[in-house]
Structure 1
Amino acid sequence: MVEQVKQGIPKADSDDSVQRLTCRHCLMPIVIILIIYGNVILGTTETQYGYYVVQRQKNITSVVSASRQSLCEANTSSIRFKQQQEVQSETANWNAYCHLAQSIPVLLMCLMVGSWSDKIGRRTALLIPTFGLMFKAVFFALAIKLEWNIYTFIIAFFVDGLCGMWITLIAAAYSFAADLTKYGKGRLFGIVIIEIILGLGVTIGALSSGYVIKYLGFLYGSVLIVGVTCLLVVLIIFLPETVHTTDKLTNISQLEYLKNAISMYTKKDPLRYKYIKLAIVFALNVLPSIGRSNVQSLYVMNSPFCWNAVFIGLFGAFRSFVQMIVGVGL
Structure 2
Amino acid sequence: MEAPFPLLVATKAPTILPAERRCHTWVSPVLFLGTVALGLQAPLCTQYLWDRLGAQLGYNGSAASGSAGCGNASGAGDLRQQELETLVSHWNLYINLAGFFVALFSVTVFGPWSDSVGRRPALILPAAGMALQAAIYLLVMYLRLHVGYFLLGRILCSLMGDYNLILASCFAYVADISDQRSRTFRIAILEACLGVAGMLASIIGGQWLKAQGYINPFWLVFAVSLAAALYAALCLQESVKESKPAKLFTLSHYMSVYRLYAAPGYQRSRQKLVLYSLTFFLIVTIHFGAKDIFVLYELSSPLCWGSDLIGYGSAASYLTYLSSLAGLRALQLCLEDTWVAELGLLSNVSGLVVISLASTTPLMFTGYGILFLSMAATPVIRAKLSKLVDEKDQGALFASVACVEGLCSLVATGVFNALYPASLHFMKGFPFLFGAIILLIPAALIG
The alpha-carbon distance between structure 1 residues 265 and 33, as it changes in their structure 2 partners (threshold 3 A), is same
> What corresponds to 2:29 in structure 1?
30
Tell me the equivalent position of 2:125: 128
Distance apart, 1:300 and its partner CA: 1.3
Aligned with 1:297 (options 295, 298, 301):
295
What's the offset of the Cα at 1:284?
1.2
Structure 2 CA distance for aligned equivalents of residues 76 and 67 of structure 1: 17
Distance 1:238 1:211, change over 3 A: same
* Residues 34-91 of structure 1 deviation map (CA, whole Å, 9 limit, x = unaligned): 110101101011100001000112233x21166464261453597xx22211111111
Of 151-160 and 37-46, more deviation after overlay is shown by 151-160
Distance 1:17 1:168, change over 3 A: same
Give the aligned partner of residue 270 of structure 2: 272
Deviations 1:167-193 (A, max 9, x none): 212221122223333x23233332232
Contact map agreement 1:137 1:223 (CA 8 A) in 2: yes
- 1-side partners of 2:197 and 2:18: how far apart? 26
TM-score by length of 1: 0.87
Aligned equivalent of 1:13: 12
Deviation at 1:194, TM superposition (A): 1.5
How far does the alpha carbon of each residue in 1:271-325 deviate from its partner, in whole angstroms, 9 at most, with x for none? 2221111221121122233454232211211111111111111111112212542
Among 277, 283, 286, the alignment partner of 1:285 is: 283
What is the percentage of aligned positions where both structures have the same residue?
Answer: 22
Contact kept in structure 1, 2:299 and 2:306, CA below 8 Å: yes
Q: For 1:194-240, what per-residue CA distance to the aligned partner results, in whole angstroms no more than 9, with x for missing partners?
A: 12212222222222221122223211211121121222233222122
Residue of structure 1 equivalent to 2:46: 47
The one-letter code of the counterpart of 1:90 is L
Q: Which runs of 5+ in 1 are unaligned?
A: none
Instruction: Provide the C-alpha distance between the structure 1 equivalents of 2:148 and 2:221, rounded to a whole number of angstroms.
Output: 21
Structure 1 position 91 matched with structure 2 position 88: yes
Q: Residues of 1 paired with 2:92 and 2:80: CA distance?
A: 18
Residue 326 of structure 1, CA deviation: 3.3
Q: Aligned residue for 1:197?
A: 193
8 Å Cα contact 1:177/1:191 also seen in 2 = yes
Equivalent in the alignment of 2:259: 263
Query: What value does the CA root-mean-square deviation take over the aligned residues?
Result: 2.7
User: Whole-Å Cα distance in 1 between the matches of residues 298 and 107 of structure 2?
Assistant: 32
Taking a change above 3 Å as real, the CA distance of residues 65 and 115 of structure 1, as seen in their structure-2 partners, is: closer
In structure 1, what is the Cα distance between the partners aligned to 2:109 and 2:124?
A: 15
CA contact (8 A) 1:110 1:164 kept: yes
1:58 match = 57
Match of 1:180 in 2: 177
Q: Distance in 2 between matches of 1:65 and 1:289?
A: 24
The runs of at least 4 aligned residues of structure 1 exceeding 6 Å deviation read 21-25
Change (3 A) 1:58 1:188: closer
Counting matched residue pairs gives 322
The answer to whether the 8 A contact 1:128-1:164 is kept is yes
Distance 1:115 1:8 in 2: 23
1:313 corresponds to: 311
Structure 2 CA distance, aligned partners of 1:251 and 1:320? Answer: 35
Instruction: Write the mapping of 1:204-219 to structure 2, written as runs, cut at 5 A.
Output: 204-219=200-215
The whole-number CA distance in structure 1 between the counterparts of 2:226 and 2:163 is 17
Structure 2: where are the runs of 5+ without partners? 329-339, 341-447
**Range that drifts further, 283-292 or 307-316:** 283-292
AA at the equivalent of 1:257: H
Which residue number in structure 2 is paired with residue 235 of structure 1? 231
Q: Secondary structure at the match of 1:9?
A: helix
- Quote how far apart the aligned CAs of 1:5 are: 8.5
* Equivalence for 2:98: 101
